[in-house]
Amino acid sequence: MSSEQTFIAIKPDGVQRGLVGPIVSRFESRGFKLAAIKLISPPRELLEKHYADLADKPFFPGLVTYMLSGPIVAMVWEGRDAVKTGRTILGATNPLASAPGTIRGDYAIDVGRNVCHGSDSVENAKKEIALWFKEGEVINYKHSQFDWIYEKA
Ligand code: GDP
Ligand code: MG
Mean pLDDT for each consecutive 10-residue tract of the chain (153 residues)?
Answer: 90 98 98 98 98 98 98 98 98 98 98 98 98 97 95 87
CB atoms < 10 A from the CB of 81, how many? 14
Domain extents for the chain? 5-136
Determine contact, residues 5/76, Cβ cutoff 8 Å. Answer: yes
Q: Is 59 annotated as a binding residue?
A: yes
Entry pTM: 0.98
Beta strands (DSSP E) in the chain are: 3-10, 33-40, 72-80, 116-118
> Is the shortest distance between the CB of 92 and ligand 1 below 6 Å?
no
Instruction: Give the number of the atom of ligand 1 that is nearest the alpha carbon of residue 92.
Output: 3
Q: For the structural domain made of 5-136, what CATH number should be given? A: 3.30.70.141
Task: Write down the pLDDT at residue 134.
Answer: 97
Ligand nearest to the CA of 87: 1
Q: Assess whether 117 carries a catalytic annotation.
A: yes
- Give, for ligand 1, the residue of 7, 56, 63, 107 to mutate: max count of ligand atoms closer than 8 Å to Cβ: 63
Question: 79, 117, 118, 132: which one is catalytic?
Answer: 117
Task: Write down the pLDDT at residue 1.
Answer: 47
> Is the shortest distance between the CB of 114 and ligand 1 below 6 Å?
yes
